[in-house]
Amino acid sequence: MVDERAFDFLTIAMAVISADTFIERSRWAANGWSREIALDIPLAQPAIWNPVLPTLKRALDFLSGDQWSVSVRSGGPRPPNRAAILRKRKTVGIGPADCVSLFSGGLDSFLGVSKLVAVGRTPVLVSHSYRGDKSYQKALAPLLGKSLPWFEANANPANTGGGPNDTSMRTRSIGFLAYGAAVASALASKRGASQGEVELFVPENGFIALNAPLTRRRVGSHSTRTTHPHFLSLVQNILASVGLPIRLVNEFRHQTKGEMMDEAARAGRPTEVFSKTVSCGKWKRKNTQCGYCVPCLIRRAAFFRAGIDDLTSYRYDVGGAWRDPEIRDDLLAVLLASRDRAENLRTRAIASGPLPISVAERDGWFGVHERGLVEIRDYLRSKGIKG
């Protein structure tokens, strides 16, 4: 059964995503970017959430770039009881699962889950199945090496008043984590307290998780923070403070995407499936990965770094994108960033947000940022693009 505290976290996440969707940034942000949003949310157990509201505010402010104010009150929904669950046509059996992993259908999540399976783990897959995402998630799931329990849901708020929706989708990740926390709480209940914390894996390469600004002008709208260490640390603090036995884990936080792929290849895991994943941030516009956005460049460079044939169908080859002034902005940005001296790169890494106090952890983030840029630079040079 889902813990009421985890269900409250899901209620909070859905309220946040709805507000983010319905409050149009271009209209309500005085500076065109940062909005002031106040939420009053009914919860099942509001008393335990009041002490963590300052931490929740910090997490939301950091995640979306807005100024959030959150209050809670009683009267919120509770998780369905067993009878209500059994009345549903579709249920998810946890079975022999020993952990939970987010599964987006992207290359990193595929690498993360397939590695868990390869070492004998049985994760429950958790997917945020937005329109279009579900098809490639379903195509990839049978290729993971084991049949796995799978929870999938779609938080897609609809504005019935007919007004425009904001499309930045900055808060999507808190919904993804809330789904994961709900499933992890059910697994914790099934296993019993003596088994300790349930691991909730968030597989993301460190270069994109840090997502340091490539240029000074990209500190704002171009810098997403969905798996940034500061955001995940704040969410972990929230989960622990309300007493949920869940531990967020990103074991790839100090690896580049190319290093993740190389590790999988060296371990003998099949690599031909890698081209079936999706990394592009713009693929839904044409139902094809563009080939020139930052996520596509990271992906292409990772295949090059790992020495694996990239059979992905892209709309543009890199040379064509470089020659087109309308779409080469990301290419220019990564080229400029890759030329920076080490001290400047560290400054950019810190500009992405607070980093862990631990020297080893901080050095790990600095290192993966530098190596990620080297991967892209080397790939572009192999294509004759040096700027």
Reading the block at residue 206, the tokens are 């460190």
Query: Percent of the chain, pLDDT > 70?
Result: 90
Provide the pLDDT for residue 340: 78
The Cα-based distances of 110 to 99, 137, 142 in angstroms read 16, 9, 11
Cα 256 to the chain's mean position, in Å?
Answer: 15
3-state secondary structure of 383: coil
pLDDT of residue 130: 66
Q: Is the pLDDT of residue 84 over 80?
A: no
In the prediction, which pLDDT does 219 show? 47
What pTM, to 2 d.p., does this model score? 0.92
Q: Which of 97-101, 139-143, 356-360, 383-387 has the lowest mean pLDDT?
A: 383-387
**Residue 42 amino acid letter:** P
> Is the pLDDT at 160 greater than 50, yes or no?
yes
257 φ, ψ (degrees, to nearest 5): -65, -40
Phi, psi of 240 (to 5 degrees): -65, -40
Q: What is the pLDDT of residues 206-244, one digit of tens each?
A: 999 999 988 765 544 445 788 999 999 999 999 999 999
Q: Is the distance from CB of 246 to CB of 200 less than 8 angstroms?
A: yes
In this prediction, residue 71 carries a pLDDT of 98
Write down the mean pLDDT value for the chain: 89
Lowest mean pLDDT among 50-64, 169-183, 252-266: 169-183
Region of poorest pLDDT, from 71-75, 126-130, 182-186, 358-362: 126-130
Beta strands at 99-102 and 123-128: parallel, antiparallel or unpaired: parallel
Q: Is the pLDDT of residue 1 over 90?
A: no
Give pLDDT, residue 137: 87
Tell me the mean pLDDT in the region 99-117: 95
Whether the pLDDT of residue 168 is over 80: the answer is no
Section 120-131 average pLDDT = 87
Range from 4-18, 58-72, 205-219, 286-300 carrying the lowest mean pLDDT: 205-219
Average pLDDT rounded to a whole number, residues 356-381: 96
- Which pLDDT band, with edges at 50, 70 and 90, does 154 fall under? confident
pLDDT band at 136 (very low <50, low <70, confident <90, very high): confident
Cα separations in angstroms, 17 against 81, 136, 243: 25, 23, 24
Please give the helix or strand (H or E) that residue 246 lies within, else none: strand 246-249
Q: Angle of helix 172-191 relative to helix 4-22, nearest 10 degrees?
A: 170
Give the model's confidence band at 26: pLDDT under 50 very low, under 70 low, under 90 confident, else very high.
confident
The predicted structure's pLDDT at residue 111: 97
Q: What is the spatial distance between Cα 56 and Cα 41, in angstroms, rounded to a whole number?
A: 13
DSSP 47-116: HHHGGGHHHHHHHHHHHHSSEEEEEEES-------HHHHHHSS-----TT--EEEE--SSHHHHHHHHHH
Q: What mean pLDDT is predicted for residues 139-167?
A: 78
Secondary structure (DSSP) of 192-208: -GGG-PEEEE----HHH
| Contact predicate 140/105, CB 8 Å | yes
Question: Amino acid identity, residue 141?
Answer: A
Report how far apart the first and last C-alpha atoms of the chain are (Å, whole number): 56
pLDDT digits (tens, 9 = 90+) for 293-325: 999 999 999 999 999 999 999 999 999 999 999
Q: Could you tell me which of 259, 254, 261 has the C-alpha nearest to residue 366?
A: 254
